[in-house]
Structure 1
């Protein structure tokens, strides 16, 4: 949308300088903090092209723009050209488009229909999803939603950790304890039952060295297709997936592809054969590895264990081959914590050595850790606990919803029953999700219930309240002006109204930055900026009736209602793209 405002300016500057319009169009940015203006043009590149000092060029361009009659005032600030747009011109350019469909403010064609695979969440089965899974799950979900809005065709993949020696160990414990299906069915929580079994057998393994051999034997039997081993493995997988699906339901997350590592359990052979045929495989202490020194990496990539069992790199390569064949992706993202960076560098390098056509299209989208405030110890901790007992992701979500329910009941007691439950779920989950997404993906995130659930500041509830406030104004409008005239954008002459429209116009560039850098916080911060700008506009009416949306003048009120509807629609869509719901009442 920003190009609708800058098109006359782009034409003016490019024509004067005799340069391509695209060169000018890519330079627009917000003015430096504290300086007047709506848009800034850094003149460094343009000055270099014309062999002129940037400050001198900025001053020359200010004169050119001011004499062009394009509804903009320009002023030079050193090497920057700061532009102030006419409020009415902004409203006339943007509001009719937003009135037709507010979602246009969060749509781009930069993806051009290309396919992107987004591999995210991907928990290990037979375990509860821990709180740290919130990062991969919701960053990946936001990336998938934003890529889709940016014109990409998205394939959402949950690459379950459902294969490997851990399951051999679990089956070994099952057999050692003589467990049966009746024991599993009688358990209050099946995943807890499996996880406790894993803890017991892992503890025993430290005391009894024969357990490791049994675990490897059962793992090998799984790989060889042993019916008994696979039947137990299938039971474990089914129970675990059902538990994960319940969490994804609460979070509002969906997937197109649930193919886990097990899908590729028989794919190691062809990969290994190809590596051997191309002379890339070497033996190292009984294991099979690929030397990556030609690509500047000191450590080799481990392909097969000494007992012949396949490893993560082998299955990742096989999975990527399969995805490329099925989906023909132009880009493939792996949203996995930064602690796995070396693993991805290694197998991406192997893909390159194998000559895979997709090798340069692979991206490891890493994230930092999440720390939770512990009231009992007054410290930030990696593991969420309550009275010494670990809290899983579902525990955190349930408590956030419970706390949100109390807040909603206190702030709006007339909301009761199913509506209160629905709003509490939206606010509680939104608080947890936005607390993550507002932060840089690669940084560490701190979570504290009291902070995340605040209705002011940089929080999910604040954004949701902003949306609900706009909905409230829409509901009240007919009582004040039952027969309003058609909205005239030309009546939006206030700087505060222009600021709302400019905040909306900046959302498409933010969306495109998400797809360019895989950084959802770019959109999260832009949506926050919109919400605070809307709040400033609405608050001005607290002191002056003529500045209110529901002002006495029906024509002005109608125009402002159109802006309220646009902001509400855009804010709601922004929340959706971040994985949050947009309640109409709170």
Structure 2
């Protein structure tokens, strides 16, 4: 049981004993050391519900509260807040247990089968900065849930079907003698752009492109062969981006829109059988009473167009149906731009009504804001074009390399490159993961590569700083007892043992910035501890204990940064 869970359970029991069994305990870490380590803030609400004096109720709760061996002081503050000061001995034992455990003292949980769908680029053109946030946020969530013990299914639901591929195939046939042109990755973006120009300018070409879509969906072998060329080249490019960005997506995680093509007529049939479909202007539509138009009419969701074609919603319905019936998932998390919130809300509603997903199967849209440039507008190149993701990552490494070369010019070239890759890519990832995902944020090279403040380089340096202590320490007893006597020791230990609570909060809420904030707090508290409590100059059990706290700090930072997809270095 985590500390938060333990305190919550005990305060809940004390509230019940004090006559407020239904009141939540409202436990949270204390905002200041003067207020203890945890605060129980549920008395105020309970007193209001019972129409009694909150201070008097708080006194009853404290009298009934059993925190023997856990807290050494419990006090009432203000009108009825309860401040809980954890016992140093208790923190010491929890710290020792975390150090000895490969997973830092995490308790086993009841595992769920969880899918995280993320990145999901449209193929046939290069990945750009618009794919960055989904890839980074989704990857961090998948890592955290896997570490906690859930069975995680990664899903890259790529756009590999539809009109754009008819357009590309038509253009390939038109510009190539044998329809088997050797497609270079660098040519693919230009190829797509030229095909789009033809599509927009020529109605005859557009009709031909649509004809190829029909052939593609109908299983025409020659069109399928050409389609596979585009898909293969695009996926090779995506994999190069994922590898550089340290994103755990592989080819086996790709299941594109095309995978559900054969199932789309079945979706229409089942929706009709469920009485959900209405024909409207020749199209097959589901009208949802809970979503209203400006005219206060039920909003319609098109499932099949009047020409027989299908939309993204139809494919997404097929995916949910497959994920329930075939994969047996407990929870599906869609990491997609917040602007798609209505699409997902409507799609989830249809799934429930049609029985594609039972109520116990959790469907969640994890939205996120936009990455902005210095001008406060969506991030673009100086000429106003889309920034290719691979080029952004290459620039991150080059900028980090310049910093490393300036600070440590005598390092071997290979070591400079290794540090630059870890710092540059780590900076890009952390700049995203340190922000509330629902917020838009300004992309700034200077801010993200700074060695001060809440940045990846600062945290990476904090880790190397701890490691330098052990390089200087000639002897280290990994089994030494932890003894906490100083305030800086206690504050650091109290934060270190909150690691599990932090991860559970990330997994429950899907907000990775909770972990980023936590790691920054750990690095800051270690810095204070390092200044206030000399490690190597101390002696005996004090020195051994402080080395243990330093070891737990390093282990926590390394594990936490890895869960964010950020590499640590033994020296910088």
Q: Which moved more, 1:245-254 or 1:55-64?
A: 55-64
Alignment-derived partner of residue 495 in structure 2: 503
CA contact (8 A) 2:16 2:22 kept: no
Shift of 1:39: 1.1
Q: What is residue 319 of structure 1 aligned with on the other side?
A: 319
Is residue 2:562 matched to residue 1:585?
A: no
Q: Which moved more, 1:125-134 or 1:274-283?
A: 274-283
Q: Would you say the 8 A contact 1:408–1:424 is kept in 2?
A: yes
Q: 1:117 to 1:358 in 2, by over 3 A?
A: farther
Counterpart check, 1:489 vs 2:482: yes
Confirm or deny: 8 A CA contact 1:295 1:349 kept in the other structure. no
SS of 1:103's partner is coil
Counterparts of 1:4 and 1:197 in 2: how far apart (Å)?
56
Root-mean-square deviation (CA), in Å?
2.8
Query: For residues 278 and 5 of structure 1, what CA distance do their matches in structure 2 show?
Result: 44
Partner of 2:119: 121
Instruction: Quote the offset at 1:19 in angstroms.
Output: 7.0
Deviation track 1:268-321 (CA, whole Å, cap 9, x = no partner) reads: 111111122233222222222111126667321111122211221111111221
Q: Which position in structure 2 is the counterpart of 1:514?
A: 506
Distance 2:519 2:65 in 1: 31
User: 1:235 and 2:236 equivalent?
Assistant: no
1:250 maps to: 244
Q: 1:561 to 1:225 in 2, by over 3 A?
A: same
Question: CA separation in 1, counterparts of 2:38 and 2:489?
Answer: 16
Aligned to 2:74: 74
Correspondence for 1:362: 363
State which drifts further: 117-126 or 167-176: 167-176
**Deviation at 1:109?**
4.2
Name the counterpart of 1:523: 515
In 2, Cα distance between the equivalents of 1:113 and 1:65? 32
- Mapped partners of 1:568, 1:23: distance in 2: 41
Other structure's SS at 1:203 match: helix
Q: Give the deviation of 1:388 after TM superposition.
A: 5.1
Match of 2:155 in 1: 157
Counterpart among 113, 137, 146 of residue 139 in structure 1: 137
Distance 1:16 1:343, change over 3 A: closer
Structure 1 segment 532-551 matched on structure 2, within 5 A: 532-540=524-532, 547-551=533-537
Shift of 1:581: 1.0
Question: Structure 1 280/17 Cα, relative in aligned 2: closer, same or farther at 3 Å?
Answer: closer
| Residue 564, structure 1, aligned to residue 550, structure 2 | yes
C-alpha contact (below 8 Å) 2:369/2:441 kept by paired residues:
yes
Q: Equivalents in 2 of 1:224, 1:51: separation in Å?
A: 70
How many angstroms apart in 1 are the aligned matches of 2:23 and 2:424? 44
Structure-1 separation of matches of 2:21 and 2:560: 27
Secondary structure of the structure 1 residue equivalent to 2:307: coil
Instruction: Give me the whole-angstrom Cα distance separating, in 2, the residues matched to 1:430 and 1:84.
Output: 36
Task: Between 61-70 and 194-203, report the one with greater CA deviation.
Answer: 61-70
Query: For the residues of structure 2 that align with 1:195 and 1:74, how far apart are their CA atoms?
Result: 64
Q: Which of 174, 195, 203 is the matching residue for 1:209?
A: 203
TM-score (norm 1): 0.89
Distance (Å, rounded) in 2 between the aligned partners of 1:387 and 1:269: 44
Structure 2 unaligned regions, length at least 5: none
In the alignment, the residues of structure 2 paired with residue 322 and residue 5 of structure 1 have an alpha-carbon distance, to the nearest angstrom, of 36
Describe the SS at the equivalent of 2:35: coil
Match of 1:543 in 2: none
- 1:219 paired with 2:213, answer yes
In the aligned structure 2, how far is the partner of 1:442 from the partner of 1:329? Answer: 26
Cα separation, partners in 2 of 1:48 and 1:235, compared to 1, 3 Å? same
Query: How many Å separate the matches in 1 of 2:309 and 2:434?
Result: 41
SS of 2:425 mapped into structure 1 = helix
1:178-197 matches, cutoff 5 A: 178=176, 183-185=181-183, 187=184, 190=185, 192-197=186-191
Partner of residue 398 from structure 2, selected from 402, 420, 436: 402
Query: Offset at 1:24?
Result: 9.2
Cα–Cα, structure 1 residues 18 and 350, in superposed 2: closer, same or farther, change >3 Å?
Answer: same
Q: Does the CA contact (< 8 Å) of 1:431 and 1:459 recur in 2? A: yes
SS at match of 1:265: helix
List runs of 5+ in structure 1 lacking aligned partners: 374-378, 541-546
Alpha-carbon deviation of 1:124? 0.6
TM-fit CA distance, 1:416: 2.0
Distance 1:117 1:26, change over 3 A: farther
Shift of 1:444: 0.8
Instruction: Tell me, yes or no, if the aligned pair for 2:15 and 2:21 is still in contact at 8 Å.
Output: no
Give the direction of change, closer, same or farther, for the CA distance of 1:344–1:108 in structure 2 (3 Å limit).
farther
Partners of 2:120 and 2:339 in 1: CA distance: 15
Residue equivalent to 2:343 = 343
Matched-pair contact (CA < 8 Å) for 1:102–1:569: no
Match of residue 544 from structure 1: none
Q: Give the C-alpha shift of residue 382 in structure 1.
A: 1.2
Q: Which secondary structure state, in structure 1, belongs to the residue aligned with residue 365 of structure 2?
A: strand
Q: Which residue of 1 aligns with 2:35?
A: 36
